[in-house]
Amino acid sequence: MARYGNWVSYDPPFDLATSFLWIGPLLFLIAGGWLAFGRFRRGEAEDGGEGAA
């Protein structure tokens, strides 16, 4: 770690330099959920509420 810093550690301390390592996965999870929700919602709107028959 002396050569590469906290970026190579499996458990880096939370500070300004490593904040993206801790918050990044949560942001990607939220963005993926938001995109999936929008996609499913748009699909229901295009169906027009009609059944398959």
Question: What confidence score (pLDDT) does residue 30 get?
Answer: 97
pLDDT, position 27? 96
Residues of the chain whose pLDDT is less than 70?
A: 1, 6-7, 43-53
Tell me how far the alpha carbon of residue 3 is from its chain's centroid.
30
> Which pLDDT score, from 0 to 100, does residue 35 have?
94
Residue spans per domain, the chain: 18-43
3-state secondary structure of 9: coil
